[in-house]
Structure formats: C-alpha cells, structure tokens
Amino acid sequence: MSKIKIGFITNTRKPALEDKKFARIAKKVGVDLIVVNSTKDFDIKEIMDRVKECHIIYNDEADYVSLELAKSLETAGHRVVESSNSYYYTEDKWLLNVKCLEHNIPVPKTILLSSNLTSAKEELIKFGQFPVVLKRILGFLGDFVDKADSADEAIEIMQRFWKKGENRFPILAQEFVRSYSYRVTTIGGEIVQTALKKNSNWKATGVSSDARKFKIDDELQKLLDKLHKIIKIEICGFDFAKKDGHWILIEVNSSPGYDFFVSEFDMLVEKVLRHLKKLAEEKK
C-alpha cells in the first residue's frame, strides 16, 4: 500500500515549533507531510500541483488566508480537516448558540444585535445583562471580543469592531459568566486533554502558562456526548465555564492549542497525525 500523504497548511514564514514537531513526528507515524505555507508566494496552481497526491489536508491555522486556501483545496476535491463548512456553521458563534439551544445544551444568554446602532442600543438595554460581552460572530484567537459595562460603551465597541474589521460584520451580545475557563480537547470524539485556565484577565484567550488539569465529571461527560453528536469537528477544543455550580458551553475551536502542557505537546501532535492517517485510510 502506498504511503499516506498528508497536506499541512501553516502560515509561518519560518518553521515554528509546532511545524517542526509535525514534520518530525510524521516520520514516526509513517506518513509523508506535504507543507503548504499560506504566507509565502500564494501561487494556487503551484499549490494544487504540490498537494495533488495528498490523501487528506490538515489546516493547522486560524486565519482567513489559510481558510481561503482550505476552501480552494476543497473546491478541487480534497478533503480538508477542519472543513470550511465546520468553520462557517459550527464556529459561527451565533449559529452555535442556536444549535445548542435546539439540543438543550446550556450556553450563556445571547442576542444577535442589529446593524443599526440605535436599534442595537435599545436591544442591549432590553437585554439588561451588564457587564455584557460583545463578540463578532466569526473571529480568531479571541480577536473581536470585548466587555462593556453599559449600552453606550457597547455601542463604542461595536463601532470599533466595524472600523477595525469588515464593515457591519454581525455582532452578538452575551451575558458575562464569571468563571475560570475549562478547555477540553478531543480528537475524533476522544477526550485527549483537559486544561483549567486561571487567568487574572477576564478573557481567558489562548494558551495559559499556569494551566492545570481537571477531571471530567458525569455532568460534563453527558454534555460532551451530546456535543459530539452535533459538532462536526475532528480536532476540537471545547471551552466551558461554571455558572451556579453547573457547566455551560462558551465556544468551540477547530484549531485548538497543543501546548498547554509541554510534556504533552508531542503526544497530541502524534494523536492528530494518527487520526488524520486513519481518516485518509478510510477514504482510500
């Protein structure tokens, strides 16, 4: 049987630590890793030729250019993990909220704000959840997320978001849940890591240097079982909080960090590669 070839989308001009680990561990797993860099010369014909024999493509990045590259490869018939569909319909923070409400999965109280600022202010006052968290429905690495103590401050944040990014991109308002952040990383539905982030900042974005493990209790396990039935992300980071002693889902991430614990970095990369290899073999 021919060797499995896995395309690997990265966006670092020089190989980062994660890139080097994937390249090294791919040899151990017995797959050929074909690196595609979305920050260098973006010659789509050259990229298509380079990955034409790949059995599966893994998008390891959370940026819009890499997402466009992933969509381009999907259009050419490649299977990309994670699919662009998962980003637009699962990581979309408003649609995730709707999907969770439909399946009785607890989430923070959330409203989608009007693009008219006068109407948005009225909606915020009626919502009455201050402080309130403002989030653009799509974003990477905690960007376009901020907290407001009043409707006027929330409107200022909306204007700043629109000035900073795409004009009038939809924004939601969400109750602020005072809690530590609890990350659960899964690969193919299997729980591979937990990380409790006790950041001093209200926004627990990214990898925390003082993360520690926590146990999955029965309540959280039942939530994860329900989520795995509706969240179509192969390599996923679920972020939870605690509200009134119960678990509540904050968001999901299709590009979870692997370096919460240095001692487990290689283990996670190997599990990702073995899972991608398995998916590729099933496709063959």
Q: What is the CATH number for 230? A: 3.30.470.20
Q: What is the mean pLDDT of the chain?
A: 91
Residue 183 Cα to chain centre, angstroms:
11
List residues bridging with 134 in a β-sheet.
Answer: 146, 173
pLDDT at 262 over 80: yes
Domain interval for residue 204: 88-92+178-254
* Residue 171 and residue 202 in one domain: no
* Residue 198 and residue 239 in one domain: yes
* Residue 67 and residue 20 in one domain: yes
Give the domain-ending residue among 157, 175, 193: 175
pLDDT single digits (tens) 123-159: 999 999 999 999 999 876 667 899 999 999 999 999 9
At 63, which CATH number? Answer: 3.40.50.2300
Domain count, the chain: 3
Contacts of 63 (CB under 8 A, 6+ apart): 11, 38, 140
pLDDT single digits (tens) 226-254: 999 999 899 999 999 999 999 999 999 98
Whether 202 is covered by a domain: the verdict is yes
Q: Are strands 56-59 and 80-81 parallel, antiparallel or unpaired?
A: parallel
* Residue 189 and residue 250 in one domain: yes
Query: What are the distances in angstroms from CA 28 to CA 20, 263, 270, 278, 283?
Result: 13, 18, 8, 15, 22
Instruction: For residue 223, name the pLDDT band (cuts at 50, 70, 90).
Output: very high
pLDDT at 201: 75
pLDDT at 1 over 60: no
